[in-house]
């Protein structure tokens, strides 16, 4: 399969993981029905798309990209939507995560098999 297609599917997985995690916050310990339903559906789509990318991307690389970018995007959602704060060490850590994802994609020969 075309690498760009697989990366597009991985991006879809990341988006749905971020939506699911945001719904998890809104579900308030599973006491709100629709955010809970949204969380389950979004996680199901995210894991389906992630599993599809494993046809050509090694699991460690795919999971590192999926979880790393998911962490950064969920942090942004927390900041913008839920009004949570990020201190300097958190911002540095998020920058390191982004750097790690870039190193994997730009320099690693392990991204496809």
State the pTM of this model. Answer: 0.89
Q: DSSP class of residue 91?
A: H
Give the separation between CA 55 and CA 37, rounded to whole angstroms. 29
pLDDT, tens digit, 9 for 90 and up, residues 67-84:
999 999 999 999 999 999
13, burial (CB in 10 Å: exposed 0-12, middle 13-18, buried 19+): buried
Give the separation between CA 101 and CA 110, rounded to whole angstroms. 13
> Domain-by-domain residue ranges, the chain?
3-107
pLDDT, tens digit, 9 for 90 and up, residues 10-31:
999 999 999 999 999 999 999 9
């Amino acid at each position: 399969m075309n690498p760009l297609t697989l990366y597009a599917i991985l991006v879809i997985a990341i988006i749905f993981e971020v939506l699911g995690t945001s719904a998890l916050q809104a579900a308030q310990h599973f006491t709100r029905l629709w955010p809970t339903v949204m969380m389950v559906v979004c996680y199901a789509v995210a894991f389906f798309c992630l599993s599809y990318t494993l046809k050509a991307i090694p699991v460690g690389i795919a999971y590192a990209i999926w979880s790393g970018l998911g962490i950064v995007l969920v942090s942004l959602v927390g900041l913008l939507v839920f009004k949570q704060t990020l201190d300097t060490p958190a911002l540095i850590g998020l920058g390191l995560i982004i750097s790690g994802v870039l190193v994997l994609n730009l320099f690693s020969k392990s991204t496809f098999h």
